[in-house]
Amino acid sequence: MKRRGLLKTAFWTLSAVTASMLPFGFLRLMTPSLKADVRWHLRPPGALKDDLAFVSACIGCGVCGEVCPTRCIKFYTREGGNRINTPYIDPSVKGCILCGKCMEVCPTESLTPTPKEEIDMGIAQIDRSACYPWVDQGICGACVAVCPLGGKAIGFDFANFYKPVVKEGCVGCGQCVEVCPHPGLPVWIASREEGTIARHGAGQRRKWLQ
Amino acid sequence: MMTAKGNFFHIRHLNKLRWVVLSIVFLMLLLLPFIYLYQTYVAAHAYDLLPASEKQIYNVMEKLTSPFVSDPENQLDQIKGNTWSGTLFGLKLSDPLAVVSQAAASQKFYWPFILTGLIPLIFTLILGRFYCGWICPATFLYELNSNLAVLLNKMGIHSGNRRFDRRFKYLVLAVGVTLSAVAGAVLTAAIYPPAIVGREIYYGIAQGGYSHVVLGGFGAGAVFFFTTLLFDLFVSRRGFCRYLCPGGALYSLLGRYRVLRIQRVVEECNDCAKCNAVCEFGLDPLRDSFGQECNNCTACIAICPTDAFEFKFSVKDKVFQGPGHLGRSYRRGQEARLMSEPDE
């Protein structure tokens, strides 16, 4: 008799706990986790380096997006999975101008104020087999002209005023991606660990495209 | 000033004041994304390039904000965010639920963030679950939803009024915080209606997904919130707030020993039970049972025909004081006692 009572309590507790998970499960159903293409999903400047730590620290208030003067910060909504409501920047639509407002306004440690030069959103990569000046299909230099860090992040190849070369100072803000006139975007942002400043060819880009 | 009859300000009017506050908070949430759009247009010097509809937004926002700011691009940053977390004139404020679940998710205490929840916490310790009744932008919609239910009932469409166990929301809170810790993401943010409302208004107006179109970016939260509205309409009145809301649960726990309480004055009460009928949270003011879940919304005060409620500084509810002295059962009891008393 006593055991039956215990079983009953256990059953009701279990079903109550399961039922209380329903709202979370319901939301989870609506936000399937899709793998984001890291080239077009940068975290805002000053973000925690470990993306899992970033997701666990971000409360999804959206204030970083609300202060961004270029409206470049967007939020994972229906495709986010656990990353739902966390911010990202799509440089192919709009790059970051490194104004630093989002870092100042973030209430949590997910975006911490960082000096402009030490920001680490990634590093730009240029496919030299597609970029117009590199394949001698015209003159451009838009990426170099727009770079907010001046000559420290991107410059021209030796003795050539149009072939762009990425330098170590690049913080990955993505302005060069935004202005690149090539429809195939031969410039993209790679994470610091995987990106290099060496010459890149089509093979490199194909690796990223996968 | 706030108790006696006939004075300029009667506490009966607090309910109207509450509606004003709720409306202001909600309108601010509606307005802020438009102000933000305006700010970005100013920053980009884009007026001449805008399509006509967005020029309209620019013009209206310029009219609205120009009396207060001279440098809209930067000065309008003074008020940002929503009730989940926001900046108010340099002061960062966050919902206590955000603080709790973020600490659980990241499994460490980041003091600058925890301190942003301090002011709401102090107010909650004094006023109890007042956030739910006075500020929450979802409450604004939920109460309108309750009014819609009344309207539907008049039209013959029956809205649901099931009752569940009110303690269920504490379980939702516990499960939400645990799941946040397990998943390493602040999951409560995604099911907490005020956070959803603030966020979705902003997404809808200013985000616009990839194409930067206005009014194009509602997320999953909008569907969730709409479902809770239907739940409230057809299953249980104010069901989400009463039985499911994790934030409401946290505020209730924090407000258990709130200092300011509504109490019944038994001498004035006539047992009409209108207070019980109007209470959005299904409490029992008629039997002095407010409990930790009363949000001091003052709806019972506003409806009471005999002004039998007052605000008292006390950390406990009164125990049931018996039937109201103006009511029938009390009078009968008195008569019976008089009859049974021996004559002198």
The domain that holds A99 is classified in CATH as 3.30.70.20
CA angle B259, B263, B268 (to 5 degrees): 155
Q: Cβ distance A183 to A202 under 8 Å?
A: no
User: A33 lies in a domain?
Assistant: no
pLDDT of residue B6: 54
Q: A205 and A140, same structural domain?
A: yes
Domain co-membership, A130 together with A183: yes
Q: Which two tokens stand for residue A2?
A: 């006593």
The number of folded domains in chain A is: 2
| Of A115, A133, A168, the domain-final residue | A115
User: CA dist A18 to A6, A196, B100, B167, Å?
Assistant: 18, 48, 22, 15
A203 and A167 housed in the same domain? yes
My answer on whether A83 and A133 are in the same domain is: no
With CA atoms as reference, report the closest residue to A82 among B222, B184, B223, B218.
Answer: B184
Residue-level pLDDT, tens digit, chain B, 344 residues: 445 555 667 888 899 999 999 999 999 999 998 998 898 889 888 888 888 888 888 999 999 988 888 888 888 888 888 899 999 888 999 999 999 999 999 988 999 999 999 999 999 999 989 999 999 999 999 999 999 999 999 998 888 888 888 888 999 999 999 999 998 888 888 889 999 999 888 888 887 644 444 445 677 788 889 999 999 999 998 999 999 999 999 999 999 899 999 999 998 898 888 999 999 898 999 988 888 889 998 999 999 998 899 998 988 888 888 888 888 888 888 888 888 876 65
For residues A107 and A105, what is the distance between their CA atoms, to the nearest angstrom? 6
* A131 and A198 part of one domain: yes
Rounding to the nearest 10 degrees, give the CA dihedral for residues A96, A97, A99, A103: 10
> Which chain B residue's Cα is nearest to A74?
B207
Within 8 A by CB and 6+ apart from B10, the residues are: B2, B307
| A85, A86, A94: best to mutate for the B interface, most B CBs within 10 A | A85
Which residues is A187 bridged to in the sheet?
A: A126
Interface membership of B199 toward A (CB under 8 Å): yes
Residues A199, A149: one domain? Answer: yes
Out of B36, B171, B244, the one facing A66 most closely (by C-beta) is B36
A16 shares contact with chain B (CB less than 8 Å): yes
Question: Which residue in chain A is spatially nearest to B115 when comparing CA positions?
Answer: A107
Asked if the structure places residue A58 within a domain, the reply is: yes
Same domain, A140 and A183: yes
In this complex, the residue of A17, A24, A66 whose CB is nearest that of residue B191 is A24
In this structure, is residue A197 part of a structural domain?
yes
B102 and chain A: CB distance < 8 Å anywhere? yes
Q: Which single residue is written with the structure tokens 């009891």?
A: B333
| Domain ranges within chain B, ordered by starting residue | 1-81, 92-257, 259-344
Residues of chain A below pLDDT 50:
none
Selection from A112, A40, A47, A22 nearest residue A76 by Cα: A40
Is A44 inside a domain boundary?
no
Mutate to test the interface with A, among B30, B79, B101, B106 (most CBs of A within 10 A): B106
Residues A133 and A156 occupy one common structural domain: yes
Boundary residue ending a domain (A89, A115, A141) = A115
Q: Kindly determine whether residue B210 and residue A90, on different chains, have CB atoms separated by under 8 Å.
A: yes
Residue B89 forms contact with A (CB below 8 Å): no
Q: A133 is in which domain, residue-wise? A: 122-209
Pick from B81, B112, B220: which is nearest to A63 by CB? B81
Specify which residues A88 forms β-bridges with: A74
Is residue A16 included in any domain, yes or no?
no
Secondary structure of residue B209 in the 3-state scheme: coil
In a shared domain, residues A159 and A97: no
* SS3 sequence of B120-182: HHHHHHHHCCHHHHHCCHHHHHHHHHHHHHHHHHHCCCCCCCCCCCCCHHHHHHHHHHHHHHH
* A-chain residue closest to B231, CA distance: A23
How much is the pTM?
0.88
Domain boundary among A115, A145, A161: A115
